[in-house]
Amino acid sequence: MPKKYSSSWCIFDFPEREAELAALQQQSEAADLWEDSEKAQAIMKNLSELRDDVEGWRKLKKRIDDTLELSEMGDESLRGDLEPELANVEQELARRELSVFLSGKYDRGNALLAINAGAGGTDSQDWAAMLQRMYLRWCEKRGFQTSILDFSEGEEAGMKSCTISVTGLYAYGYLRPEKGVHRLVRLSPFDSAHRRHTSFAQVEVLPEAASEDSEIQINPDDLKIDVYISSGAGGQNVQKNATAVRITHIPSGLVVACQNERSQLQNRENALRVLRSRLLEQKQAAQDKQLAELRGEYTKTEWGSQIRSYVLHPYQLVKDHRTEFEAGNTQGVLDGDLDGFIEAYLRWSGR
């Protein structure tokens, strides 16, 4: 058994999480907890997630201790059982080790994922739709729940933009490596001469600000709310009533819109969710000049600013320009196989 699996290994010393767990447990036992049901639900959700996380580390530590003890017996008859167990332990340890890099304030929480078509016309809008599919498939594989809050169709194909709510433990932490410009090189299906085209799309990842977050206070008097008829593909898909909502936050100038729900009330609530997250991003950026902490340096969606390239012609390769991590199975990546890129970035960034 490798020495690094000693029961005294420091990765299992997590007093901060133990202290946080104890604090949440104390809050959950408060007599007035459910006087504010929304806050109570958030506390209970955090308590459950943190308890599962800490308990998972405890169980892994016990497995390592038990395996170490058996290996030190020197009984060759146990080798057949120890080797597969060791492989399983190493796999689980590598997976859980990533959570050590997810120590940011909002890493454990939910995320809002926004995709915007950039330079490249119809090809760019089609590329944005391909990215949406890629992330939805990745979320499904990870067990994250997704909901499309806003969607704007492309003029001929694909989409101009979309905003997706991603719910699950560490959703923001795992998705934040994806923020930036994504570049596609392929033979265009929209070019009659079938020439090679380069397309760009901007991916934004925002931590979802909880409604009870004390850092974000929205004064209703600061909001200008417009309702309008949702755009659609035509026919029965077009809404006859004004259910789409656009909210302008007057002090900051931020404008958000949601139109994907049939209810005006639901679209309004979703728009406020997006606004809270954008205000949180803005506030954090003002406190810390390193905007990359939450969103990454904003870059114009054009040539030369990409974080990752997806080349489908004349060869097949997906390459991250920050970490140099690459994959030759381009279809696999576009089908949601992103874990290698995300893990490489988390380790590279040292978070």
Domains of the chain, residue spans: 3-101, 111-209+297-349, 220-287
**pLDDT score for 38:** 76
Give 230 or 72, the one with higher predicted confidence: 72
In sequence order, the 6+-apart residues with CB closer than 8 A to the CB of 90 are: none
As its CATH architecture, domain 111-209+297-349 has: 2-Layer Sandwich (3.30)
Closest CA to 96 of 206, 170, 167: 170
Token digits of residue 59: 């169980």
pLDDT tens figures, 76-122: 888 888 888 888 888 888 777 777 788 788 898 899 999 999 977 89
- CA 64 to chain CA mean position, Å: 31
Q: DSSP alpha helices (H): ranges in 102-223?
A: 121-142, 171-175
User: What per-residue confidence (pLDDT) applies to 297?
Assistant: 53
Is 50 exceeded by the pLDDT of residue 5?
A: no
Q: Which two tokens stand for residue 48?
A: 């459950």
Enter the CATH code of domain 3-101. 1.20.58.410
Tens of pLDDT, residues 302-324: 445 799 999 999 999 999 999 99
Alpha-carbon torsion, ordered 341, 343, 344, 350, to 10 deg: 140
Measured distance CA(100)–CA(327) in Å, rounded: 25
CATH topology of domain 220-287: Double Stranded RNA Binding Domain (3.30.160)
Report the SS3 class of residue 225: strand
* pLDDT of the residue at 130: 98
pLDDT per position as a tens digit, 268-288:
999 999 999 999 888 877 765
How sure is the predictor about 339, in pLDDT bands with cuts at 50, 70 and 90? very high
DSSP three-state, residue 124: helix
CA 288 vs. chain centroid, Å, equals: 21
Identify the CA nearest to 335 among candidates 318, 323, 322. 318
Which residue type occupies 55?
Answer: E
Say if CB 322 and CB 299 are below 8 A apart.
no
For the segment 180-212, what is each residue's pLDDT rounded down to a tens digit?
999 999 999 998 888 899 999 999 999 998 765
Main-chain phi, psi angles of 179, to 5 degrees: -75, 135
Confidence class for position 346, pLDDT limits 50, 70, 90: very high
Nearest CA to 350 out of 282, 292, 283 is that of 292
Backbone angles phi, psi at 153, to 5 degrees: -70, 155
